[in-house]
Amino acid sequence: MSFSQSCVRTAVRGLNFGGRTLRKLGIETPSLDADALHRAAYARAGARSYGSWDIDEPLERLLKSYRDEAALTTLGRITVRELIVSLLDNLLRMEAERAANPLIEQQRITAPVFIVGLPRTGTTHLHGIISQDPDNRAPLTWEVMYPAAGRSAAEIARARAQTGTRLNWADRLAPEFMRIHPIAPDLPQECIAITAQVFMSIQFHTTHDVSSYQDWLETAPQKLGFDFHLRFLQHLQAKTTTAMDGRSAASAGRNSRPTAMDGQSAASAGRNSRPTAMDGGSAASAGPSSGSGSRWVLKAPGHLFALEGLLERYPDARIIHTHRDPLRVMASMASHATVLRRAFSDRANPRSIARDWADRWARALDKFLAVRDRARAEQFLDVRFESIESDPLGTVERVYDFVGWPLTRDARDAMGRFLAANPKNKHGVHSYTLEQFGLSRAAETARFRSYCERFGIPVRAER
């Protein structure tokens, strides 16, 4: 442990001790009352309208779970308060921008690609590789944290720096996390961080014990989350289009490709034009900070819980379904959640966390496969974790063949540079076993047997 980490942990212990003393006196601070959080967000954003977003129920359910179940330390309450206020602030600012900029509502999000699978099945790595193609577009971490940031060079630099500061603090509080899930301002972010901004996300239960909220989320209609998801992509796409105004015609010609709606060839239209999630508007190109194309590439294991809602909102979506030995997945997932919860709670039992999430992911997988079986088979491509690890560019070729995209030399070169800069175990080895989390190898093998048989996934006896 470094000196700075030691200082941080000493300060955190002191802060949490003081908080426990106050709780014994009946004082809970800071407040996690919805009205107080709204007032703080109004003051920060300088705006008071959430538009048509009906966030009251998910927010109230989430806050009740935080108060009743999460066993937050004082640091945990501080970070949760800041998280909620930041999300409300983002929503307020985005609605203000949407009211002022009619271009946002005109954006078309066409045939997005979603990478979906159980956690720890290579979704993050594959997403990172594919997002290097300058013709593709993925939401970057800084964009998800600060979606209302301006698009001048100075404003982008400030948002990236602020994101870096927040991530550095997170790394100090949970230093093991980077070994499990690398994250940086300019790396792609997953969809659960987008839908979290209307409080419809498994992100919250991953980081804290909010079981009642998660129970509700798994059975609630997902329309709110995916409607906002679409609007979020429109928002980023429109902001980038606005940033492109004023570039030279040559530059615009390089970065803005014609779409099927604008008269591209019939062959290309056949590959890339499917029924769209939005009517009206025109496709727009994305900016240089995250790809210059309008081909959205997204990812979230959390979509296993909500494939029906995803396909209702994006009927033209293409789904890359990643697969890995689920026994390996369950142990890694439990380690991931335990590391996060220990940073913010006095009660983070690894065995309880593992049992809870193993049950939830098994149900989610069954639900996903049931919806998949009713959907169009041609919307899905199956990819093995081992293929992503052993032959990443070959795996990307399969994905591109599936979606009908050309894999250009520029894209290959960019992907090669990304792979060279991000070797396996760059941030250290993440070690875990099923047994340390109290999961039975025999029981988990039986639980996932039909899934493994369907997709030809070997379950190895030893780890």
Asked, for residue 235, whether it belongs to a domain, the answer is yes
Residue 239 lies in a domain: yes
Q: Are 194 and 43 in contact (CB under 8 A)?
A: no
pLDDT for the residue 26 = 55
pLDDT at residue number 431: 67
Count of CB atoms situated within 10 Å of the CB of 367: 16
Report the length, in residues, of the chain: 463
Residue 264 lies in a domain: yes
H/E stretch holding 318 reads strand 318-323
Residue 460 lies in a domain: no
What pLDDT is attached to residue 73? 93
Query: Does the residue 462 lie in any domain?
Result: no
DSSP state of 174: S
**How far apart are the C-alpha atoms of 37 and 33, rounded to whole Å?**
6
Full domain range(s) for residue 410: 3-455
pTM recorded for the entire structure: 0.85
List, edge to edge, every strand of the sheet that includes 380-384.
136-137, 295-299, 113-117, 318-323, 380-384
Assign residue 327 the CATH number of its domain.
3.40.50.300
Helix spans in 46-122 (H): 56-69, 74-100
Q: Is residue 417 part of a domain?
A: yes
Residue 461 domain-assigned?
Answer: no
- Do the domain assignments include residue 298? yes
pLDDT recorded at residue 385:
97
The total number of structural domains in the chain stands at: 1
Question: How many CA atoms does the CB half-sphere of 67 hold within 13 Å?
Answer: 14
DSSP states along 118-149: STTSSHHHHHHHHTTSTTEE--BHHHHH-TT-
Cβ atoms of residues 404 and 271 within 8 Å:
yes
Strands 113-117 and 380-384: unpaired
For every one of its 463 residues, what pLDDT tens digit does the chain have, with 9 covering 90 and above?
454 545 545 455 554 545 554 454 455 668 999 999 999 999 999 999 999 999 999 999 999 999 999 999 999 999 999 999 999 999 999 999 999 999 999 999 999 999 999 999 999 999 999 999 999 999 999 999 999 998 889 999 999 999 999 998 887 877 766 666 678 999 999 999 999 999 999 999 999 999 999 999 999 999 999 999 999 999 999 987 655 443 433 333 333 333 333 333 333 333 333 333 433 332 333 333 355 568 999 999 999 999 999 999 999 999 999 999 999 999 888 988 998 999 899 889 999 999 999 999 999 999 999 999 999 999 999 999 999 999 999 999 999 999 999 999 999 999 999 999 988 766 555 567 888 899 999 999 999 999 999 999 987 654 4
> Which amino acid appears at position 152 of this protein?
S
For residue 17, what pLDDT is reported? Answer: 44
